[in-house]
Chain A
């Protein structure tokens, strides 16, 4: 009898525990944005007249007139489309749903995932030396690229600019040729996505697929096959969804390929290749700062890294700022001054009296190694507001293009300050200081998070003015998060925020003049 009682109690306890675990803990963890096709909040029929970033105009890339919808060629394509849409497999239907009628968001997610995958800092060799990734041999260990924040923001800006210019081109020809969508030509074709009045030639989706594939393949060469498969699936999904016939897709893909070439031509000569300079040049920057200001930053990892991260990223060609010097922030407080000592005291306070709130803020915005970086974080935020405001692909591309150009310019300006001033980090200066965030391999002043975030918040506020207070609060929180984390001085964050706002305004002024407002 006693035995039975004990077994029963056990059963009850096991059941209760199991119930508790299943009901309170296990959640499905999202791996992508949860959205389907939606009604665009505007069509932007005049989008073809907007000013592109890299192309001289919306007709720089020539697109031949399409065959008339009454032609045999078109009717054959239409028949093929009908066959394709009436026999969709499960995976084809999934692809239609996944890519949706705003595939830019999916390509942005793919880009962020690749950033996170490749954002791994090379470790030391057995002899204490470090090997850099080799773009000529990307498969060597360590793999190319190391997708750190400057690399990431640059990749994202070329991706977004190519998408934007490609879609302006596509919009121009859509409303020049006005080829109706298949569903409007043949009522028996029901498009998978909500109906819109967008002319179907050339396919905007194919522009995005080809441009995104080519830019990201250049930035992440080891992902060539993966990206090709993604683009192929996306282009095919345009027909599976019944929104584009084959010649729409072919013409769109050709635009995407051309615009990617233009973007990659700029990328090839923007100075990024020289950013990770050799030690003698890096040392000369350090010496110059020491001679000028009396301080210098040193890497104190074990073993020490001989060169900081991309010392010459500050010399990379900016998108919308004429010279990096004109946005360079003022000289930071010298060690020993009252403001500096106040900063030391504040940092010690955060370290000694760390609260869960400060810790949570430091971690939320950390976006460190192995993640999508701060520029990636702001792309993710932008994506959420694209969905909230239901932007069409052209408007979406415009937002990402200005967002990422502003953040890249902000990063270039920040890196200019970092290696011009070469200011030491808290762990370099405060004896025995320990941090809850990882101290990066570059000088302290100004804070990259602050500059990236302030620039991003300004562009987002320009596009979504009613949300501006929130974006700017987040940027300030991202800035101070680095001080809570113990890896930046308050003046790094505050001056960095002002710097980010200043730099972003150059891009916003370009945006205001592009014809979209």
Chain B
């Protein structure tokens, strides 16, 4: 359900969040200069009490409301002026609210280590603003032996992911900006702890194909108060290119075809004192989906920029 996209959603949110000089993410348009670095620590709380079984939105007393807490330390490093490295390592904890009919234990642990390299392809003045084109190549892999085949409590999808993203931003001189990004996420296979499963037919293996997907986002925002406060609205979409539907009243599994769209808002500030310190807060809500929770989430974070 929602838990299959933690890293992704986090990056999307971070992408929206860490816009100014203080930070950058795989999907934003920011580049840091060589030897600049930014450390971020973000807490996210996510929950859903309805989910899409295929495209049918339902509740389920067995799992009641599924809650998810994520703490993500991350760092962005300016390797070169036009090539930056971003590393993140989320810790995730999940559980159901009481009362619930299933009495399932939640799960917790470090999820996936993600590495991303971002390169600036183009940056030029155009009209009353600046046009930037960037590309990001990312790779993530599970850090621990967490069980992906334990929906909806599993902390991740348990497979390697290779992503390639294109980012286009236009920023007006008066602080307004708009950004669009498109990515393809190749996802590998995850290993379950059973060697038979049903995916519109029998599969005699512990290996499950995790569907690859397209990921889109669109952002509109403004910098205010002399680049101290940023406010923004964002929309993120994800669409798997294969996979099966959750069967009636049955548990989800990593092979499911997951799609969703979510809208959000974000505020971020950058302080001059103490120098390098910043903060952010965001909220987003799923609007439509398939084989995923109708999640809401909010996050708060601190960022700190420094030179190495």
List the interface of chain A (C-beta within 8 A of B).
2-3, 5-7, 9-10, 13-14, 17-18, 20-21, 24-27, 29-33, 109, 112-113, 116-117, 120-124, 141-142, 300-304, 351, 354, 356, 359-360, 363-364, 366-367, 369-372, 377, 380, 427, 433-436, 438-439, 486
Contacts and interface: CB of A to CB of B under 8 A. Distances in A.
B250 A10 contact: no
18 contacts: A6-B83, A13-B137, A14-B164, A26-B189, A27-B189, A32-B202, A33-B204, A113-B198, A116-B196, A116-B202, A123-B248, A351-B105, A360-B193, A366-B194, A372-B202, A434-B103, A434-B106, A436-B104
Given A18-B162, A122-B249, A435 B105 contact: yes
Nearest to A25: B188
Contacts of A117: 198
Contacts of B250: 120, 369-370
Given A25-B188, A116-B198, A124-B61, A359 B193 contact: yes
Contacts of B195: 364
A352 to B, nearest CB: 10
B242 interface: no
Given A7-B119, A18-B162, 17 more contacts: A3-B82, A6-B82, A17-B139, A29-B205, A29-B207, A31-B201, A31-B203, A109-B202, A120-B247, A120-B248, A301-B102, A366-B194, A369-B251, A370-B250, A371-B194, A371-B197, A435-B103
B117 interface: yes
Contacts of A3: 82
- Nearest first, the 6 closest Cβ-Cβ pairs linking A and B are A302-B61, A123-B249, A302-B101, A25-B188, A363-B193, A301-B101
A18 B193 CA distance: 26
A478 B282 CA distance: 47
Given A427-B103, A436-B104, A17 B204 contact: no
Contacts of A121: 249
Contacts of B188: 21, 24-26
A360 B191 CA distance: 11
B61 A434 contact: no
Given A3-B82, A121-B249, A21 B204 contact: no
Contacts of A7: 119
B192 A363 contact: yes
B24 to A, nearest CB: 15
A116 B139 CA distance: 35
Task: Pick the most buried of B82, B103, B164: most chain A CB atoms within 10 A of its CB.
Answer: B103
Contacts of B205: 27, 29-30
A25 B160 contact: yes
Interface residues of B, number: 53
B130 interface: no
Contacts of A6: 80, 82-83, 119-120
Nearest to A29: B205
Contacts of A301: 61-62, 101-102
Given A5-B80, A29-B203, A369-B251, A438 B160 contact: no
A369 B194 CA distance: 13
Interface string B106-138: 100000000001011000000000000001010
A391 to B, nearest CB: 20
Contact of B193 (A17, A33, A364, A369): A364
A10 B105 CA distance: 42
Nearest to B138: A17
B103 to A, nearest CB: 5
Contacts of A31: 201-204
Secondary structure of the B contact surface, majority rule: loop
Given A120-B249, A301-B62, A380-B196, A434 B139 contact: no
A127 to B, nearest CB: 13
A278 B203 CA distance: 36
A17 B137 contact: yes
Interface string B249-290: 111000000000000000000000000000000000000000
Interface string B44-86: 0000000000000000111010000000000000001111000
Contacts of B193: 359-360, 363-364
Contacts of A304: 101
Given A21-B188, A120-B250, A301-B62, A433 B103 contact: yes
Interface in B196-222: 196-198, 201-205, 207-209
B186 interface: yes
A13 to B, nearest CB: 5
B39 to A, nearest CB: 22
Nearest to A433: B103
Nearest to A9: B83
Interface in B204-247: 204-205, 207-209, 247
B305 to A, nearest CB: 21
A113 B198 CA distance: 8
B159 interface: yes
B147 interface: yes
A364 B194 CA distance: 4
A434 B201 contact: no
Nearest to A362: B193
B149 interface: yes
B51 to A, nearest CB: 13
A25 B207 CA distance: 9
A21 B194 contact: no
Contacts of A359: 147, 193
Nearest to B149: A363
B100 interface: yes
B61 A113 contact: no
A107 to B, nearest CB: 13
A363 B81 CA distance: 49
A112 B196 CA distance: 11
Nearest to B81: A2
B102 to A, nearest CB: 7
Contacts of A25: 159-160, 188-189
Contacts of B120: 6
Given A21-B162, A30-B205, A363-B149, A438 B102 contact: yes
Nearest to A299: B101
A129 to B, nearest CB: 13
Nearest to A360: B193
Contacts of A2: 80-82
